[in-house]
Amino acid sequence: MNTNVQKVRKDYAKRELKRDDLPNSPVELLEDWLSAAESTDPDDYNAMCLSSVDETGKPSSRIVLLRSITDQGIRFFTNYESKKGRDIAVNENVCVNFFWRDWERQVRITGVASRCTPKVSDDYFASRPRASQIGAWTSHQSKSNVEPKIQERIKDAIESFKDAEVIPRPDFWGGYDLSIETIEFWQGRPSRLHNRWRYRIKNESEGAWNVDLLDP
C-alpha cells in the first residue's frame, strides 16, 4: 500500500461563501460557478458524478456531462439501456456532484430523473458529431462480453447509414431531466471548516427555496 496517501494534506483557503453571497435562486449561483469553472477548465468543467441505485439498493456512480440547465433542473444524455438507465427505471431518485479543484468548490444535487421529451432528445442527437451518432447506435452500453465485436458493429452501422444525410436517434438513447429537490454549495475553507449552504425546494410552482447553513 502507498502510505503517502495518509500524508496528503491541502488547506483550502482561496475563497469563502457567505449568506450575503447567495441569490434567491440556486440555479443562478450554479450558473455562476459553472462559468467560473469554465474559465479554468473549459474541457471538463461540466463533468459531474452521477449516482444511482438499483433494484437491490446497491449504488453506482459514474461521470456524465451536464448538457443544459432548464426550468426543470439539469439535463444529461445517455443510453437508456445502460446501467444508469436501468437503475433510473426502477429508482428515479439520483444525485449528482460537481467538483472544481481550481476553485475549491463542490455542488451536490439530489432530485428525480425523468426522460426528456422525444423532441428534446432528437434535437440534441442531431447536434452530435456523426461519429458519435454512429457510436450511439453501435454501443451496447454496460453489457458484458460483447465488446470484441464492436468494430464489426461499427462497420455495419456505417454501412447502414452511408446514404443517410441525417442519422436518426435510436429509441434506446436520449436525455434525462433531473429536477432539483436539494442543492448544496460547498466552498473549501481552512482547517476543514468549509462553508456549506443547502437550498431545499419550498414551493416548486413559485420557485421558492429554504436555505440552511450546514456544519462543515
pTM of the model: 0.90
Whether 192 is catalytic: yes
Domains, the chain, ordered by start:
13-125+173-214 (2.30.110.10)
Q: HEC profile for 12-64?
A: CCCCCCCHHHCCCCHHHHHHHHHHHHHHHCCCCCCEEEEEEECCCCCEEEEEE
Please write the tens of the pLDDT for every residue from 114-129: 999 999 999 999 999 9
The torsion of the CA quartet 35, 40, 44, 49, rounded to 10 degrees, works out to -70
Query: Could you tell me what percent of the chain has a pLDDT over 90?
Result: 77
More confident residue, 56 or 155: 56
Hey, what's the cell of 48?
459531474
User: What is the per-residue pLDDT for 126?
Assistant: 97
Indicate which residue of 67, 108, 130, 192 is catalytic. 192
Q: Which pLDDT value is given to residue 148?
A: 66
Region of poorest pLDDT, from 11-20, 139-148, 178-187: 139-148
> What's the pLDDT tens digit per position in 86-103?
999 999 999 999 999 999
Mean of the per-residue pLDDT values of the chain: 92
